[in-house]
Structure 1
Amino acid sequence: MAARALNKADYVNLLDYARDVLAKASRSILIQRPSTGMGRGIHNAWTSIIECAEEFEAEGRDQDRLIFLILEARTNNTLSISSLIPSPQGEICLVTKLPFFVKDLVAAWASRWESMRAQHRENLLAFTARLVAAGGCSDWIFLYGLSLLREVLETARPLFPAAPRFATRPALPPPLQTPVSFGPPSLLELLPTLSRFLVLAGTRLAALCNCSADLAPLQGDEDRRLRSLADLGPLAGAAGVNGGPSGFAPTRWLFWTQRLETLSGCGDQIIASEAGACLGSMWDKEMLLCGPLTRDRVLRQMRIGRGAGGWELTRGVEVFEGQQEGSRRLE
């Protein structure tokens, strides 16, 4: 991805370029005359849209334009390809409504999520979560969400970011020096992104976990590598969690809520508030379902929001899989 040296007009131009490429691809498909470079052009269009999605403010007007462009292409079947496209390596068969899109989006996330600025990470997650909520693409796009949940809740991670190390330049005051190394993203950086994801796409995630969804297999070495994003993290694996056939399972959902409960009780107010907001979202999504996620719970008290400061979470005695949990208050 190009360095972030573009201004707002440049990103608008990128979006116009992507729209033009997709329109040309659609015309080629309609007249059944696909060109050799059409597949590459579609990849380039998705790359431009992904870069714009990182830059455009989450849930803002510019991001709305991106969502509309994707939904328009899918709804009108303008990119449905069921023919063979010639390429230097041989013919390629494309049969999806949005060819390459999910794979390109998940691959971009997998390769760069740790190095993204926190705002770009949150923007991209909001963009994909809104597509999920609107049914704009296949459920395999949830690979990025499972990856985020694994890194935040199934992997040991510091609460706070490491102090940046600066190049040794005595002549420059520290504020003018360029940071040359950062630690891995901390929970303080990742929890707000997770919270937005759960608000926007948590209902679909809960439904997939509720039925232990088994998605169609991915093919090819690259696709198998992306499929590994759904694998359990070290903490979940050590706890004996069953990840289901495709990474979705009631026991995994329960593990996430238990981890958030633990974080909600930590000593830091900011971490506790962010974790409480995530937990409140997950409980809200559970209330929309019937099935393994909720059938063993015999008592659920109302969760009371307390505005922008987070959630005030009060729980009574609950029974889940035969284990009784005492009353606990999460501040």
Structure 2
Amino acid sequence: MATFSMGDRIKSREAFHATFKESVDADLKQAGYDNNNTTWHSIRMFTKTILSQYLRGANSDLPKKYRYELDMHELWYWVAQAARYIAADHPAQDRLVAQVQHARAMGNLSCKNEAGEEEVATTSDGNIWSDVPFLVEEVQSAWKASGTIPSVERHNLSAFVARLASVGVRDPDLGVVALWVLRETLETDRPLTSSLSGSNNENKQASIADLLPAANAWFLYCGYKIESLSIQTQDYDSDVETGELARRANITPSSGFSVARWKFWRDRLEEISHCEDQEVAQLAERMRKTMKTWGERIEGMD
């Protein structure tokens, strides 16, 4: 019977990791936009597979990265990519969020080691399942790559992450994505619509109209949380500095959430609501009203 060295097994696991992602992408693309798909169930069963493999001691001689950390990356990659194909306003998004909550509610994954002691499955990003390790990393990676996907998928993904943040998953880490979305949409100098971008190539700058739905998702599904983080002046180590337009307006602090930044977003939406494009103007006005609804504490500071 053939035996494989540790190096061969690690290479095999790394190759499977790449193939897994390619397979997920291909399957989701082939299925297309389907709010009634059963991907959520497949994801739940994959969670069970990770659990069973750990309890059976599968690959227990491998380093943690190859024993179960890559499994976690694959799980959350699947979740984030699946969100792109579920309509932002459809309840199926909540069902996908529930899979993350279900995993987290399973608590710390553990089993007895050779010494008969209970050993928790720890990773470089916390414990499985209670800390949902690597979820934030995979979600952030998905968003960073969203500039190359259709705007409808960007909107869907943004709505999903906003829903996750609203229920406190890895609180407050997912707020970084909100800052990225809002900075690109409301703090960056860009054309109002694609027709005004002055370019017909694939690398043309995204317009306000392209990005506004993704930004709207954060106020619609996570408004109270965004207001709370603003009041708390929540900052991060990541790239969350204010955008060019906010810097011109001397918004301080210049990084993270703040009341001043919230008010800048509100005022920027007021400005956009008076633009010549009726569809964009109407969405901006709805967003401004949503901010007012969920931002009562900040509104009371004026």
- The normalised TM-score by structure 1 is 0.69
User: Structure 2 counterpart of 1:254, which letter?
Assistant: K
How do 1:185-264 residues align onto structure 2 when only pairs under 5 Å count? 185-214=206-235, 227-228=238-239, 230-243=240-253, 247-264=256-273
**2:142 aligned with 1:108:** yes
Q: Calculate percent identity across the aligned residue pairs.
A: 26
2: CA distance between counterparts of 1:32 and 1:148?
A: 41
Give the alignment partner of residue 77 of structure 1, picking from 107, 118, 121: 107
Q: Say how many residue pairs are matched.
A: 261
Paired residue secondary structure (2:194): coil
**2:80 aligned with 1:50:** yes
Number of the residue aligned with 2:43: 18
Whether contact under 8 Å (2:188, 2:243) holds in the other structure is yes
Unaligned runs of 5+ in 1: 86-91, 167-178, 218-226, 298-331
Greater shift, 27-36 or 14-23, is seen at 27-36
Higher strand share: 1
Shift of 1:254: 1.3
1: CA distance between counterparts of 2:104 and 2:77?
A: 17
- The normalised TM-score by structure 2 is 0.75
Q: Evaluate the alpha carbon distance shift between residue 213 and residue 79 of structure 1 in structure 2; reply closer, same or farther with a 3 A threshold.
A: farther
Greater shift, 275-284 or 53-62, is seen at 53-62
User: Structure 2 counterpart of 1:282, which letter?
Assistant: M
2: CA distance between counterparts of 1:139 and 1:296?
A: 23
Q: Evaluate the alpha carbon distance shift between residue 77 and residue 59 of structure 1 in structure 2; reply closer, same or farther with a 3 A threshold.
A: farther
- RMSD (CA atoms): 3.1
Paired residue secondary structure (2:291): helix
Number of the residue aligned with 2:113: none
Give the alignment partner of residue 6 of structure 1, picking from 17, 30, 44: 30
Give the alignment partner of residue 63 of structure 1, picking from 86, 93, 108: 93
Q: Evaluate the alpha carbon distance shift between residue 163 and residue 259 of structure 1 in structure 2; reply closer, same or farther with a 3 A threshold.
A: closer
2: CA distance between counterparts of 1:109 and 1:118?
A: 12
Shift of 1:243: 3.5
2: CA distance between counterparts of 1:213 and 1:193?
A: 21
Q: Deviations over 1:41-87 (max 9, x none)?
A: 111111111111001122424323311111111123265895456xx
2: CA distance between counterparts of 1:207 and 1:34?
A: 44
